[in-house]
Every structure is written in C-alpha cells, then in structure tokens.
C-alpha cells in the first residue's frame, strides 16, 4: 500500500489534536459539518453483522500463507474464495489476466467477482484486494525485506468483511443488486529499495483493479457507487475521510460516516479529512466513472500513515480485532440495505 502524503499527514495530526474544535474551524470541521448535515436514520431491518464470523474469514485466508500472485497459497486461496462466494448463491466470475509488474514479473492474476441478483441493472459495488505484499520491505529487520508478509490486515481484513456481507446477502437480498469484487495484484508495487524514478511510481500498484476497470466483466458496467475496504481490521482503527474519496463522492462519504455515527461507531469513523492514497478506488473512478470511496485505516503518528504492522512480518492475526471488523461491516450493511 502506498504512503499517505506527508504534508496531509501533518495536517491530519493537527486535526487529531483538535477533535473538539468548533464548527467552521478548518477543513476537518468542514467535513464534519457536511457529514452531520445528512439524514441517515435507519429505515429497514438490517442484518446483524458478526465480527467473529468476519474474523474467522480473515484467519482462513491467512492459513493459506502469503497470497502472492503465482504462489501456491495464492492458488489455494483463490479456490477457497470462489467456492465460498458460490456457496452464498452469488454468480461468480473469475477474471484471469497476465499482468506485468514494474520489475518485469508476470503475475497470473485472478479478479474474483460475485454478483448478487445479477438480473438487476441498478447496482452497488463493494470491493477489496485479496493478494498480499510479496516483500516485507518496511520491516525493522532487513533480513525480512524480501520475504512475503502474512497479510492479515493488508489483504485479509477487507475480504473477511465482504465475505460476511455476502453471507447475509444470500439470506436477505437488498433492493439493489450488489457486486463484490476481490481484486488481485494490488500490492505488488515498487519495493522500498528500488528506484523512485517516475516509471516506478504510483502506477506500479493496483494492477488488478486497473485491468478490470478497463475490461469489466459486464460490458459498459455501471454502479451507483463503490465502497473499497482496505486495512480495516486493526484494534482501534481510525478511518478518516480519505482525500480522493471526498473528491470522487463526498455525498457517499457523508452517508457512510453519518451512518457509522448513528450506529455508535464515531470512535472508528473520524470526521476529519485525511490524506490521499492511490488505491483500487482510483482506477474504478478514473476508468469506469463510478463514484467511489476508500474506508482505510490511518495512523497519523506513523511515518507512512499506517500502523507498525504495515508491510512487515507483523501483519498477522494479532493485528485483527473483531470489533473493528464489526464497525466497518455493520456500517456498510446499513448503507446498502437502505438503498432504494
């Protein structure tokens, strides 16, 4: 995962110390005013999201080992994800592609697409990446810098939440059709030790979503909006209003963050504008013109904007908390089940 802008991180750190600032004081308060202006009272009987179930889904992925493209763990986990989604009654499409990484590696990528009520033209899109970083290049031990990470939070957590959502969609359909896409080849971006030349920039990341956005599984695919879940499982996660999300879909940010507040999850969903990050939602917006947001954990006190586990060998089940998964999953369920 790419780093947040350092300038914006500094700005966010200032905001973090001003959580009780009066309305109208700075961009963070402006974001809060915009969000709090939304009326998002629950309107339907929404299923109860199980954080424990989502936790098990994360653990089952981690049990395959690192899910780096071309590895045995990657192949085994792909089969598991496809079978699990089919068991929930989804129409599953596995989109395969050979994608060339920045260093010349050819990745045998698999985007896994689960469509619920595919006959409906009015749809919403939920997505995450399921692959894991091939290198622990941020690890404190240089001996680990070319070892693949376990990928519990960065890779496993968003998928775990989406599998739990899929379990509910099988039992209680939504008014709109729902597509869940698990993107591959997201985390094969430039190694920290490699050149920072322009050719090794942000375009080295999110290869699977770029491929799908240019070659959707349904011709001229459209959705009302998209919600990306990435790095959502750490204890005490903080989800700021990510910068690109505020540009792409400010009303959706307002809806999601206000829904979280109504559910009692304001501790997780912070009413401040955060840094920008090039993630899968950028490709979906740029190529498919679908308004998208990114629910992603941010740690303003970390040098790269993420927790100490990020791109290290520490990214294991110790960094997964069922309460964080519950906060995200229940919020997303409330949003999609109230679509009319």
Q: What is the CATH number of the domain that holds 147?
A: 3.40.630.10
Count how many Cα atoms sit within 13 Å of the Cα of residue 2 in the half-sphere of its side chain. Answer: 20
| Residues of the chain above pLDDT 70, percent | 85
Report if residue 207 sits inside a domain.
yes
Residues paired with residue 182 on neighbouring β-strands, in sequence order: 112, 128
The residues, any chain, with a CB within 8 Å of residue 327's CB and separated by 6 or more, are 237, 260, 263, 265, 268, 269
Domain range enclosing 322: 6-337
Report if residue 24 sits inside a domain.
yes
Split at pLDDT 50, 70, 90, the class of 33 is very low
The residues, any chain, with a CB within 8 Å of residue 326's CB and separated by 6 or more, are 49, 50, 51, 54
What token pair was written down for 297?
Answer: 């954990």
Report if residue 76 sits inside a domain.
yes
Estimate the crossing angle of helix 250-262 against helix 26-36, to 10 degrees: 70
Q: CA dist 132 to 30, 65, 112, 311, Å?
A: 36, 10, 15, 9
Contact yes or no for 275/9 (Cβ under 8 A): yes
List pLDDT tens digits, range 97-142: 999 999 999 999 999 999 999 999 999 999 999 999 999 999 999 9
Listing DSSP states for 40-106 in one string gives: ----S-PPPP-HHHHHHHHHHHHTT----TTSHHHHHHHHHHHHHHHHTT-EEEEEEEEEE-TTSPE
Distance CA 191, CA 137 (A): 7
- How many Å separate Cα 236 from the centre of its chain? 17
Split at pLDDT 50, 70, 90, the class of 157 is very high
Split at pLDDT 50, 70, 90, the class of 197 is low
Report if residue 1 sits inside a domain.
no
Residue 301 has a CB neighbour count (10 Å cut-off) of 12
b/e 152-182 (16+ beta carbons within 10 angstroms → b) = bbbbbbbbbbbbbbbbbbeeeebebbbbbbb
pLDDT of 38: 47
pLDDT of 43: 67
Report if residue 314 sits inside a domain.
yes
List pLDDT tens digits, range 245-302: 999 999 999 999 999 999 999 999 999 888 899 999 999 999 999 999 999 999 888 8
Per-chain mean pLDDT for the chain: 89
Secondary structure, 3-state, 186-255: CCCCCCCCCCCCHHHCHHHCCHHHHHHHHCCCCCCCCCCCEEEEECCCCCCCCEEECHHHHHHCHHHHHH
DSSP 298: -
Least-confidence region, from 25-34, 129-138, 216-225, 231-240: 25-34
pLDDT of 29: 40
Contact yes or no for 124/225 (Cβ under 8 A): yes
Least-confidence region, from 8-22, 36-50, 59-73, 297-311: 8-22
pLDDT of 252: 98
Q: Has residue 15 got a pLDDT over 60?
A: no
Integer Rg of the chain from CA: 19
Distance CA 102, CA 202 (A): 10
pLDDT of 202: 66
In the chain, the number of structural domains is 1
Split at pLDDT 50, 70, 90, the class of 44 is confident
Higher pLDDT, 35 or 286: 286
Characterize the bridge pairing of strands 226-230 and 292-296: parallel
Higher pLDDT, 31 or 316: 316
pLDDT of 268: 98
Residues paired with residue 94 on neighbouring β-strands, in sequence order: 112
Report if residue 176 sits inside a domain.
yes
What token pair was written down for 221?
Answer: 């695919």
């Amino acid at each position: 995962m790419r780093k947040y802008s350092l300038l914006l991180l500094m700005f966010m750190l200032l905001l973090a110390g001003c959580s009780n600032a009066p309305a109208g004081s700075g961009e963070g308060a402006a974001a809060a005013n915009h969000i709090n202006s939304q009326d998002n009272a629950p309107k339907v009987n929404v299923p109860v999201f199980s954080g424990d179930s989502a936790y098990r889904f994360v653990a089952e992925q981690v049990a395959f080992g690192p899910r780096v493209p071309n590895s045995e763990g990657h192949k085994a986990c792909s089969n598991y994800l496809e079978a699990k989604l089919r068991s929930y009654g989804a129409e599953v499409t596995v989109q395969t592609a050979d994608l060339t990484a920045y260093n010349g590696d050819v990745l045998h990528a698999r985007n896994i697409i689960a469509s619920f009520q595919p006959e409906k033209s009015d749809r919403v899109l939920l997505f995450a990446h399921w692959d894991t970083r091939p290198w622990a290049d941020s690890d404190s031990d240089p001996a680990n810098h070319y070892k693949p990470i376990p990928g519990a939070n960065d890779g496993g957590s968003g998928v775990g939440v989406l599998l739990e959502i899929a379990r509910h969609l099988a039992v209680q359909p939504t008014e709109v059709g729902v597509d869940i896409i698990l993107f591959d080849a997201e985390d094969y971006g430039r190694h920290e030790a490699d050149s920072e030349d322009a050719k090794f920039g942000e375009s080295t990341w999110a290869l699977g979503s770029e491929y799908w956005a240019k070659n959707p599984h349904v011709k001229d695919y459209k959705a009302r909006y998209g919600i990306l879940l990435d790095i959502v499982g750490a204890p005490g996660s903080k989800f700021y209003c990510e910068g690109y999300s505020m540009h792409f879909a400010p009303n959706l940010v307002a809806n999601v963050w206000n829904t979280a507040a109504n559910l009692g999850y304001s501790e997780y969903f912070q009413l401040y504008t955060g840094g920008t990050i090039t993630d899968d939602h950028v490709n979906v917006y740029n190529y498919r013109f679908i308004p998208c947001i990114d629910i992603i954990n941010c740690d303003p006190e970390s040098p790269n904007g993420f927790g100490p586990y990020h791109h290290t060998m520490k990214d294991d089940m110790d960094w997964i908390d069922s309460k964080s998964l519950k906060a995200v999953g229940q919020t997303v369920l409330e949003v999609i089940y109230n679509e009319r």
